[in-house]
Amino acid sequence: MLVHYTLTQGNAEGEMIESTQGREPLGFIYGVGMMIPDFEANLLGLKAGDTFSFGIKAANAYGEYDETALVEVPKNMFEMDGKIPDGLLEIGNTIPLTDQDGNRFQGTVAWVGLDKVKLDFNHPMAGVDLHFTGQVEMVRDAEPAELEHGHVHGAGGHHH
């Protein structure tokens, strides 16, 4: 499915978060878990040319904001060769991290103290109600290679 959409915070008149207008449409394979389930549910049965406008509560989007996902860590864990790289620990920076098992994840710098840093591991959109408006550009069956790779190829999708 290819769709053009505008995503706003809260309702249709809310602050714009992102939009595909003037760019390639969003291409996704329906039903394989690429998108928020409520996003797909609201597009079910639509065809090319159909318009849509719907909201998704935070709990059904990226989840509610979780205060326990704010973690304080020692500042020295960011040192490289005994020094913290300039500009790394600035509020709002997203830092790629790896745990002891090799799993990768990201934390956003929420607070910087003298010897500690508070990282926020919530999704950046946690706690935000979403509203989508847009139009369906195309609906077609996924090709076998797309199903195998788990994403749309060509316009609105991944280019190999």
Domain of 109, in residue numbers: 67-120
Quick one: pLDDT at residue 99?
83
What is the Cα–Cα distance from 43 to 61, expressed in whole angstroms? Answer: 15
Is the domain of 10 the same as that of 83?
Answer: no
Do 38 and 71 lie in a common domain?
Answer: no
Give me the CATH number covering residue 55: 3.10.50.40
Structural domain count of the chain:
2
Q: Are residues 38 and 12 in the same domain?
A: yes
Catalogue the E-assigned strands of the chain: 2-9, 16-19, 26-27, 51-56, 70-74, 94-98, 104-112, 116-120, 130-138
Phi/psi for 155 (5° steps) reads: -55, 130
pLDDT at 108: 96
Residue 134 phi/psi, 5° resolution? 170, -160
The pTM score is: 0.77
Question: What are the pLDDT digits (tens) for 24-80?
Answer: 999 888 877 789 999 999 999 999 999 999 999 999 999 999 999 999 999 999 998
In a domain, 83, yes or no: yes
Inform me whether the pLDDT recorded for 159 exceeds 50: no
